[in-house]
Amino acid sequence: MAKPLFVLNGPNLNLLGSREPEIYGHTTLADIEAATRARAGQVGLSVEFRQSNHEGVLVDWIQEARTAAAGVILNAGAYTHTSVALHDALKAVDVPVIEVHISNPHRREPFRHTSYVSSVATGVICGVGAQGYALAVEALATLISAKTTAPASKKGQ
């Protein structure tokens, strides 16, 4: 069986739908999970969907993704702006990683303008709301397909 996409969510994302709806909307994390699973199924992929408020747990999951995942979608929440540990864990992952943010951090407080994730992610999707997760699934489907169909001499470039 094909490896799943790991969809990893950081601190406070379990409060989506009720926490700052003027920024994050009324969509819950359960709603996002259902939509992400549906989109992944449409493109022939499966999803392992997780959320933790604990940085070390996220690091453990990223390390697990090294061998267990076809790709990673990561919404690290506030750890995006603070976690060298997540940055270092992502550097050790040899699968495509898409960083996702529901809001656009560049339109928010200055401390949110720096991401420790972006420089080690394959791509970044932000500011398009919960649909960013579905867009990340589509991006990973394309990246995974390109990687598995690339001639042997082109792999690893």
Task: Cite the active site residues.
Answer: 24, 101
Ranges of H-type helices in the chain = 21-24, 29-42, 55-68, 84-91, 131-149
Euclidean distance between CA atoms 134 and 37, whole angstroms = 9
Residues 38 and 68: their CA atoms lie apart, in Å, by 21
R_g (Cα) of the chain, nearest Å = 15
The helix/strand/coil state of 22 is helix
- Give the separation between CA 68 and CA 57, rounded to whole angstroms: 16
